[in-house]
Amino acid sequence: MKPLSHPRLPPAPRRSPRRPLRHASGARSHLVKLATGIAVACAFSLAAAPSIAQPKQPPESLVRLSGSPTIGGKMMLEVATAWAKQNKLPGIRVEDGLDPGDFDVIAEGAESVRRIRVQVRTKTTLSGLEPLLRGQTDIWMAARPVKDSDLDAMRKRGVPGVPTLAQFQQPGTENVIGLAALAIIVNSRNPVPALSVSQLRDIFTGKATSWAQVGGPSNLPIGVYSPDPSLVTLEVFCSSVMGNNDPQKCADGFPRLAAPRFAVLEDIPDAVAGNPAGIGFIDLSMKRSARPVALGTDCGTGVEPSVFRIKADEYPLSRRLYLYVAPGRATTPAANDFLQFALSPVGQAAVTTAGFADLQPGTADPDYGNDRLDHARDAQDAGRTRVRAPDLKAFETATAGADRVSITFRFQAGTDALDSRAVADIARLAALMQTPAYKDASLSLIGFSSATGDYVDNRELSRERAAAVRDRLMAAGIQNVNAIGVGPMAAVACNLDPATSPLNQRVEVWIHKPRSS
Q: What is the pLDDT of residue 301?
A: 66
Segment 220-226 mean pLDDT: 91
- CATH (one of 3.40.190, 3.40.50, 2.30.30, 1.10.3470) for 60-173+325-337: 3.40.190
- Residues carrying CATH 3.30.1330.60, the chain: 362-512
Dihedral pair phi/psi, residue 295, rounded to 5°: -95, 110
| CATH number 3.30.1330.60 is the correct assignment for the domain at 362-512 | yes
Nearest C-alpha neighbor of 247 from the set 75, 120, 126, 139: 126
How distant, in Å, are the alpha carbons of 29, 32, 43, 47, 381 from that of 36?
11, 6, 11, 17, 103
How many other β-carbons are positioned within 10 Å of the β-carbon of residue 389? 9
CB atoms within 10 A of CB 180: 27
In degrees rounded to 5, what are phi and psi of residue 475?
-65, -25
Provide the mean pLDDT of the chain.
85
Q: CA 176, CA 178: separation in Å to the nearest integer?
A: 6
Decide if pLDDT at 5 tops 70. no
pLDDT digits (tens, 9 = 90+) for 483-498: 999 999 998 888 887 7
pLDDT at 352: 94
CA dist., res. 317 & res. 310, Å (int): 9
- Report the candidate in 327, 302, 334 with the shortest Cα–Cα distance to residue 317: 302
pLDDT at residue 362, as a whole number: 93
* Alpha-carbon gap, residue 117 to 57, rounded angstroms: 14
- pLDDT for 42 equals 42
Calculate ∠ Cα 458-382-503, nearest 5°.
50
Residues 6+ apart with CB under 8 A from 278: 186, 187, 223, 224, 225, 271, 272, 290
Of residues 417 and 485, more confidently modeled? 485
Q: Is the dihedral of CA 53, 55, 56, 58 positive or negative?
A: positive
Residue 29 or 117, more confident: 117
Give yes or no for residue 355 having a pLDDT over 90: no
Query: How many whole angstroms separate alpha carbon 204 and alpha carbon 195?
Result: 12
pLDDT attached to residue 24:
37
Residue of higher predicted confidence among 268 and 37: 268
pLDDT of residue 35: 44
pLDDT in tens, 448-485: 999 989 999 999 999 999 999 999 999 999 989 999 99
Which tens digit of pLDDT belongs to each residue from 167-221?
Answer: 999 999 999 999 988 889 999 999 998 898 889 999 999 999 999 999 887 888 9
**For position 414, what pLDDT does the model report?**
67
pLDDT for 464 = 94
The answer to whether the CB of 253 falls within 8 A of the CB of 167 is no
**Structure confidence at residue 19 (pLDDT):** 36
Q: For the whole model, what pTM was predicted?
A: 0.79
Kindly state the average pLDDT of the residues 13-37.
40
Question: How far apart, in whole angstroms, are the C-alpha atoms of residue 40 and residue 335?
Answer: 53
pLDDT for residue 218: 80
Condensed to tens digits (0 to 9), the pLDDT of residues 82-139 reads 999 999 998 999 999 999 889 999 999 876 678 999 999 999 999 999 999 999 999 9
Residue 303, pLDDT above cutoff 90:
no
- Over residues 330-351, mean pLDDT: 97
- Identify the band that residue 306 occupies on the pLDDT scale cut at 50, 70 and 90: confident
Distance CA 422, CA 399 (A): 21
CB contact at 8 A, 268 and 227: yes
Amino acid at 446: I
Kindly tell me if the per-residue pLDDT of 15 is higher than 60. Answer: no
Every domain range in the chain assigned CATH 3.40.190.10 = 180-311
Q: What is the mean pLDDT of residues 316-338?
A: 94
Of 258, 252, 265, which Cα lies nearest the Cα of 204? 252
- CA–CA distance, 237 with 453 (Å, rounded to integer): 28
Residue 58 is predicted with a pLDDT of: 55
In sequence order, the 6+-apart residues with CB closer than 8 A to the CB of 34 are: none
- Is the pLDDT score of 235 beyond 80? yes
Cα-based distances in Å from 47 to 33, 42, 44, 413: 21, 9, 5, 75
Please count the other Cβ atoms lying within 10 Å of the Cβ belonging to residue 86. 14
Residue 296 predicted with pLDDT over 50: yes
CATH superfamily of 180-311: Periplasmic binding protein-like II (3.40.190.10)
